[in-house]
């Protein structure tokens, strides 16, 4: 599933700041992502990996996995908020069409678990991913109809995401890392160590 994260790579530059509640991983407007919820996704991904041959896969682990999964949840939630504001809807038929298209791309439904592992998407987040893809495609279409050049569409979507994230006052718990606005990365914080995924001795 080589193109699974294409829609997300252009919108990763979210300005995340410190999050006040100790049990909160991140806050997106009125939505709270708890550390338990964040860890549940990690546990699901790690469990799925045990069912597949991952020797040829380049997979994140530890805090790198924590950061990327938290970013995924934040970005897709911001997409949902943009959709609400612009009255963009996602129907069950559109979800089905997108799912069928992915099945065709990867060689059938039976190949989905392996491809989700390779793409580092928890099965419970698959529909969230598809929703974000559909919303992004609709935004791209609307921008094109408004006269935005194809080469500028990705940058315009990035701008919309950043603006909405700022409006929502997106925050992140520092134990997950430090946001670098210059590089657009959620960098590790030295003091965090393996705070989220317990180390095995």
Pairing mode of beta strands 185-187, 178-180: antiparallel
Residue 106, pLDDT above cutoff 70: yes
114 is a domain residue: yes
87 is a domain residue: yes
Q: Quick: pLDDT tens for 53-90.
A: 999 999 999 988 999 998 899 889 989 999 999 999 99
What's the domain count of the chain? 1
121 is a domain residue: yes
Q: Quick: pLDDT tens for 4-41.
A: 454 454 444 443 444 545 688 888 889 999 999 999 99
Which residues, at least 6 apart from 168, have a Cβ–Cβ distance to it below 8 Å? 28, 29, 78, 81
CA dihedral 58, 63, 70, 49 (to 10 degrees): 40
pLDDT at residue 69, as a whole number? 94
pTM listed for this prediction: 0.80
Nearest CA among 173, 178, 175, 179 for reference residue 194: 175
Beta-strand ranges (E) seen in the chain are 17-18, 24-28, 31-34, 171-172, 178-180, 185-187
Q: Could you tell me the CA-to-CA distances from 53 to 50, 57, 61, 71, 137 in Å, in that order?
A: 8, 8, 16, 26, 32
188 is a domain residue: no
185 is a domain residue: no
Query: Which residue range is the domain that position 44 belongs to?
Result: 15-177
Nearest-5° Cα angle at 118, 39 to 107: 130
CATH of the domain at 28: 1.10.4030
Confidence of residue 137 (pLDDT cuts 50, 70, 90): very high
DSSP state of 188: P
> Across residues 166-191, what is the average pLDDT?
67
100 is a domain residue: yes
pLDDT at residue 15, as a whole number? 37
> Across residues 150-175, what is the average pLDDT?
85
């Amino acid at each position: 599933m080589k193109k699974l994260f294409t829609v997300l790579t252009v919108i990763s530059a979210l300005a995340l700041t410190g999050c006040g509640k100790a049990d909160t991983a991140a806050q997106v407007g009125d939505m709270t992502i708890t550390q338990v919820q964040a860890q549940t996704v990690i546990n699901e991904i790690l469990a799925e990996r045990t069912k597949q041959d991952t020797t040829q896969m380049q997979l994140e682990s530890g805090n790198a996995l924590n950061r990327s999964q938290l970013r995924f949840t934040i970005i897709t939630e911001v997409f949902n908020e943009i959709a609400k504001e612009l009255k963009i809807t996602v129907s069950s038929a559109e979800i089905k069409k997108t799912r069928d298209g992915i099945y065709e791309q990867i060689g059938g439904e039976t190949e989905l678990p392996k491809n989700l592992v390779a793409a580092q998407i928890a099965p419970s987040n698959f529909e969230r991913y598809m929703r974000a893809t559909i919303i992004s495609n609709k935004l791209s279409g609307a921008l094109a109809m408004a006269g935005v050049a194809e080469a500028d569409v990705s940058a315009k979507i990035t701008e919309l995401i950043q603006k909405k994230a700022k409006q929502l006052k997106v925050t992140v718990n520092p134990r997950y890392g430090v946001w670098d606005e210059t590089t657009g990365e959620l960098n590790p914080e030295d003091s965090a160590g393996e705070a989220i995924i317990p180390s095995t001795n």
